[in-house]
Structure 1
Amino acid sequence: MRPAPGEVLHFSEDPTIERFAPHVAPTSRETTPYVWAVDGRSAPSYWFPRQCPRAMAWVRAGTTDADRDRIIGAGCGVRVHAIEYAWWDAMRTTRLYAYRLPAAAFVEIASPGADPHAHVATEPVVPLGPPEPVGNLIDCHAAAGIQLRLLDSLWPFWHEVTTSTAGFSGIRLRNARPR
């Protein structure tokens, strides 16, 4: 599930949203109320149950061959997503929906020194149409050529990823098993 030109996406398990209002997420470092969305590059990071902790890594400019082979895997593509075994059933059964939103209402946002990771709007946004079922989340990963790893704990992988030359992102890590 990717946005068409001129669109960004918001993923949700709620198929009844008619209007997105800016808000401050309880766990956000941002203090400005936003409507959050993602572009096609970031969309795969959200092909998960909302509360599922995940660690993700990808090859980027500057990723060494050694780190690509160690983190991603030799001959295994350019991206890997990891979840814990405890989330496998939710990954298989969660019904996720994609809302298509007008990209013109959004601006990119990035942490200092990082690539943009999201798009934000400061005014309410109405979806361009009804939400679309994303489908089987495991199939989404397979169709995109993204490895999906099952781990007992995310923390050893997270340590390796964050100390490598690969690009990385972690979402909902507070929900991972304790270190």
Structure 2
Amino acid sequence: MRPQPGEVLHFSEDPTITVFRPHVAATAQQAEAYVWAVDDARAPDYWFPRQCPRALAWTVPGTSASDRDRILGPGGGERVHAIEYGWMQRFLGVELFAYRFSAAAFRPFGEPVSHAFVATEPVEPLGPAQPVGDLLQLHRDAGIQLRVLDNLWEFWDAVITSTLGFSGIRLRNARARPDQP
């Protein structure tokens, strides 16, 4: 599930939203209220149940061959997503929907590289929510490795000290670090 040219997407488990109103999330690091969306490049980051913790890594122009081999592995493609075993049943069973918006209502968000798009006024989707479908198949079709780990932290620590691009989403919902109670 990807946006068409001139569109951005918002993923949700609720297919009944008709107007998206800016709000400040409980975990927000900024005070301004936003409606959040993503472009084609970041859409796969959200092919998960909303609360599912995930560690994502991908190659960027400065990725070293050794980091690529160490993190992605031989034949590993360009991208890997990791979740924990405890989330696998939810991942396989979630009913996820995508809302399409005109990109004109949004502006890039994130420095130094945009990782999302935000609107500061209420926005209406271009149509009804669309079922995203089989999340495992989406990953496969996109050539994204999906790893299922007992605990995300060792992988996350390796990713953030590498030359790969990365994102960690909902990591507060991950299991505790093995070295912490």
Output the TM-score relative to the length of structure 1.
Answer: 0.98
- How far, CA to CA, are the matches of 2:60 and 2:73 in structure 1? 14
Structure 1 equivalent of residue 169 of structure 2:
171
1:122 equivalenced with 2:120 (yes/no) = yes
- How far, CA to CA, are the matches of 1:30 and 1:118 in structure 2? 14
- How far, CA to CA, are the matches of 2:142 and 2:34 in structure 1? 29
- How far, CA to CA, are the matches of 2:50 and 2:76 in structure 1? 26
Q: CA deviation at 1:72?
A: 1.0
Identity of aligned residues (%): 64
2:136 partner SS? helix
Deviation sequence 1:56-101 (CA, Å, 0-9, x none):
0000010000000111112210000000000000010000000001
**Structure 2 residue identity aligned to 1:23:** H
2:31 partner SS? coil
Deviation sequence 1:28-60 (CA, Å, 0-9, x none):
101100000000000000000000000000000
**Structure 1 residue identity aligned to 2:43:** A
**Structure 1 residue identity aligned to 2:143:** G
Structure 2 equivalent of residue 64 of structure 1:
64
- Aligned residue runs from structure 1 range 127-166, under 5 A: 127-166=125-164
1:76 partner SS? coil
- Aligned residue runs from structure 1 range 86-101, under 5 A: 86-101=86-101
**Structure 1 residue identity aligned to 2:117:** H
- How far, CA to CA, are the matches of 2:107 and 2:145 in structure 1? 30
Structure 2 equivalent of residue 25 of structure 1:
25
| Runs (5+) with no aligned partner, structure 2 | none
Output the TM-score relative to the length of structure 2.
Answer: 0.97
Aligned CA RMSD, in angstroms, stands at: 0.6
2:57 partner SS? strand
1:67 partner SS? helix
**Structure 1 residue identity aligned to 2:17:** I
What count of residue pairs does the alignment treat as equivalent? Answer: 177
Moved segments of 4+, more than 3 Å: none
